[in-house]
Each structure stands twice: as C-alpha cells, then as structure tokens.
Amino acid sequence: MVLFRPVGKAELELIEKANYTEFPPRLPQQPIFYPVLNQKYAEEIAQRWNTGDINSQYKGYVLKFEIDDTYISQFEVQTVGNRHHQELWIPAEELENFNNYIIGKIQVVNEF
C-alpha cells in the first residue's frame, strides 16, 4: 500500500537522519501516528497546518512511502472529514514495528 505523511521541517530532518527509512518516535503528546491514504489530503495538511507553525519553521512537506499490505491491513481506515480525508491511526507504541514494514525509501513528493 502506498501512503502519504504530511510533516514539518523538524520531523523531516529526523527522517533524513534515518536515511529516509523510518519515522521518528512520537512525542509524549502524540498518542498516534497518522499516515494518510492520498496525496491530496496530505497536501492540505502540509499547506494549512505545517506552513503556519513556527515549530515547523513555516514549511510543510508531503512524504510518500510504501508499506507491506498484509501488515497494514490490521489498521482500520478512519475518515475524519470529507471523503478524501482518510488516514490510519497507528498507536505511538507500534511505530517502531510499523517502520520495519516500510518498503524502500520514504520520498519527499511536495514542499510548501
């Protein structure tokens, strides 16, 4: 399955340090990791939220990555707004395992 992830500058720098092979652990106030199912939704988040956040240095990025179909099928799709606002909710404590199922490299596909 191909997934997308909107991130700010700080999170992108951590992903770069991991050679684009994994996502960093969640912060204590972040109980879930939420990759999204389509690029349009990821771009909306990156543009609207990350570019307005001083902690993101007013930059937003859209990442694309592939994950093992069998593994990811255990997580239910969540629709959180319009029909295309679909994401998966991965518990923070599952993220290290999630990273093991990423296929290939995480790619930057858009920047705002």
Query: What is 19-66 written as a DSSP string?
Result: TTS-PPPPPTT--EE--BS-HHHHHHHHHHTGGG-GGGTT-EEEEEEE
Residue 51: predicted pLDDT: 72
Q: CATH says 2-111 is which class?
A: alpha beta
Q: Give the model's confidence band at 98: pLDDT under 50 very low, under 70 low, under 90 confident, else very high.
A: very high
pTM over 0.85: yes
Report the greatest alpha carbon distance in the chain.
38
Domain boundaries, the chain: 2-111
60-67 vs 2-8, strand pairing mode = antiparallel
pLDDT mean over 50-76: 87
For a pLDDT cut of 90, what percent of the chain falls above it? Answer: 86
